[in-house]
Amino acid sequence: MVVRGQVSVEFFLVLSLLFALAAVLLTTAEAQLRDAESLNNAALSKAALDSVGSFIDLVYLSGNGSIVRGQVFIPAASLCFIVNASTETLQCDPDPSLLGRVNSRPLKNSAVFFNASCPPYSASTGWFDLTVYHNGSSVLVNCTRVV
């Protein structure tokens, strides 16, 4: 009779140790997953920023009437395509809760205007078709969300 009680207590002790180990492993795995997701968003934001910045520079240097079309992916929770006229940079935050602009790219000209369907004016994320054109005095960027 005593042996059965001892086996039950040992079983519950081993089971509680296994649950504690599983909880520690799950917490660590979740933190690693969040870090990987943040790094992925930063890389995707940087890729989008570089693509759009290259389109803008190409159109500006090509002159009046030039047009470039392309597609770009904007990851969720990112705040992209902020033109800083004072530093002549195009900026993108992979996480808007961060205080500083994480990604920035110098532009050849700060007279760049994004229409209302482009981020940051639109909260949409995902794939966008871009049309970048030079109207003689500035570079205009038109975005259309790909569904």
Q: Does position 106 have pLDDT exceeding 60, yes or no? A: yes
Higher pLDDT residue, 22 or 88? 22
Strand pairing report for 103-106 and 139-145:
unpaired
Global pTM reads 0.76
E strands within 1-147? 67-74, 79-84, 89-93, 103-106, 112-114, 126-134, 139-145
pLDDT given for residue 69 in this prediction:
96
Domain span at residue 121 reads 2-145
Give the model's confidence band at 116: pLDDT under 50 very low, under 70 low, under 90 confident, else very high. Answer: confident
Give the pLDDT band of residue 98 (cuts 50, 70, 90): low
Domain count for the chain, please give it. Answer: 1
**In this structure, are strands 139-145 and 112-114 parallel, antiparallel, or unpaired?**
parallel
